[in-house]
Structure 1
Amino acid sequence: MGKVAADSGDVVEAVRRYREALKLNPDYDQAMNNLANILKDQGHLDEALYLLQQATSLRPDFAAAWMNLGIVQASLGHHTAAETSYLTALTHRSVYPDCLYNLGNLYLEKGDHNAALATWTNATSLKPSLAVAWTNMLILLDSQANINLPLMLLTKHSRLLPHLILWHLPNEPALHFNLANTLGKLSCYQESESHFLLATSLDSANANYWVNLGVLYHRWHKYDRAQQAYVRALSLNPGLKSARDNLSMLLKATGKISR
């Protein structure tokens, strides 16, 4: 009954039912795990931590509980303990892309960008539809372009990712958007444009996609297209400061009058 309530979005009822289940059976590890997940999302990390420690103690091969324990420990800033929990989960379930995704997030928090990228790569190789891992890889590559990651590694992933995304997730606009930003920073303007256009075709009402397409055209010296993209962004979100500022800058630079 707790699971049915949780699946329907009634977390108050779910918590009540899980607590009742644990009163009836204090060693019910699955109820501990499920209750801890809700408490974690509600910000009750200390109780979630206690429940997951109990669950993994009762069932040492409970891979999902170990992963969830790692998530809670990471949220509390216990990075070493979180890494141990994630790795323990992976020893009990070798094919566990969601755990690899969370482990990659932990490496990112610790500043080990190469390990994060490698771990997310493993996650997507096991589960190509894991959009959050693809997105994090793209965001990392975008933020690290020509800064910390070796250029060869950066170029390798930037060139490989488009083909993988088009094959596995052709209709995820956020992935095309983040990939376009990464390619744009590498001055791969045509490839960047193609992914921006895909993102805007898949989610045409997203003003942020249009303003970033405008930035690409702006840098590419395609000023008329940049202006059109900024105007489209402002038609969707008149209060979007980045679009308004960029349009004003463009009009001044090209000798047009801003109105």
Structure 2
Amino acid sequence: MNLGIVKAALGKTDEAENCYRTAIKHRRKYPDAFYNLGNLYIELKRVDEAATAFRNATRLKATHVNAWLNLALLHENGGRLVEAESVLEEARRHLPDHVGFASNLANVLAKQGRFDESEPYYKMAISADPKSASLHGNLAVMYHRAGKLRGAEREYALSLDLDPSNELMKDNLRKLVNQRAKENN
């Protein structure tokens, strides 16, 4: 498996794949080899094979955080939000306190327009990592999309307090202020 990692880093993807497959052949219960194989398949844009590899990693090791996250992101990036949601809920059953699953689930639910369901997951993630500018920013965007403008303004401000250089948050806050000014006229 380690040789496969090196080969992948060198861009020798065929050789890397062979190394991972050899590692799995000799040690069938090798979640990290499946995980690395999944990462290689993502790089090669072999999405279905990547999903299978990540799923195999999580079956062998239900606490393999990165395999869960990559599997969920694979679905999310492919526009399969219901599948991403299902993966994240399953991951949370195995690792209920993992902040990454909560924040990713919040994002997936918000992308589906299920703002009331996403809010508690954002808050859960923020309570575990209150100094995360990106978590506050994501909650701000969700509030903004949901029409909860006071909450959005508060979270944009918190996000910018934590990361004053974030141009996206500055732009979003400007848009919100302009939106509120138009509504008040």
Could you say whether these structures have the same fold, taking a TM-score greater than 0.5 normalized by the shorter chain as the test? yes
The 5 A counterparts of 1:246-257 are: 246-255=172-181
Which is worse superposed, 81-90 or 238-247? Answer: 238-247
Q: Which residue of 2 aligns with 1:205?
A: 131
- CA-based RMSD of the aligned residues comes to 1.7
CA distance in 2, matches of 1:210, 1:226: 9
| Preserved contact between residue 138 and residue 175 of structure 1 (Cα < 8 Å) | no
Once the 2 structures are TM-superposed, how far is the Cα of residue 121 of structure 1 from its aligned partner?
Answer: 1.4
For 1:219, the equivalent position in structure 2 comes to 145
Work out the number of aligned pairs and report it: 182
Q: Do the aligned partners of 2:92 and 2:101 also contact (CA within 8 Å) in 1? A: no
Normalising by structure 1, what TM-score?
0.66
Q: Which of structures 1 and 2 has the larger relative contact order (alpha carbons within 8 angstroms, sep 6+)?
A: 2
For the pair 1:131 / 2:65, whether they are aligned, the reply is: yes
Say which is worse superposed, 134-143 or 89-98, in terms of deviation: 134-143
5+ residue gaps, structure 1, are 1-66, 146-150
- Whether the aligned pair in 1 keeps the contact of 2:88 and 2:104 (CA below 8 Å) is no
Q: Bigger shift: 91-100 or 110-119?
A: 110-119
- TM-score, length basis structure 2: 0.90
Structure-1 residue corresponding to 2:12:
78
**Which letter maps to 2:126?**
T
- Tell me the equivalent position of 2:40: 106
After superposition, the Cα gap between the structure-2 partners of 1:159 and 1:169, relative to the gap in structure 1 and judged at 3 Å, is same
Offset at residue 236 of structure 1 (A): 1.7
Tell me the CA shift for residue 159 of structure 1: 3.5
Which of 102, 125, 148 lines up with 1:176 in the alignment? 102
Larger Rg: 1
Q: Once the 2 structures are TM-superposed, how far is the Cα of residue 196 of structure 1 from its aligned partner?
A: 1.4
Residue 186 (structure 1) aligned with residue 112 (structure 2): yes
The residue correspondences of 1:88-167 to structure 2 (distance < 5 A) are 88-145=22-79, 151=80, 154-155=81-82, 157-167=83-93
- Of the three residues 159, 164, 168, the one matched with 1:242 is 168
**Matched residues in 2 for 1:207 and 1:186: separation?**
23
2 CA distance for matches of 1:175 and 1:223? 26
Compared with structure 1, are the counterparts of its residues 115 and 192 closer, same or farther at alpha carbon in structure 2 (3 Å cutoff)?
farther
Is the Cα contact below 8 Å between 1:171 and 1:202 reproduced in 2?
A: no
Structure 1 letter corresponding to 2:10: L
* Contact persistence 1:211–1:242 (CA under 8 A): no
Q: Percent identity?
A: 39
Shift of 1:206: 0.5
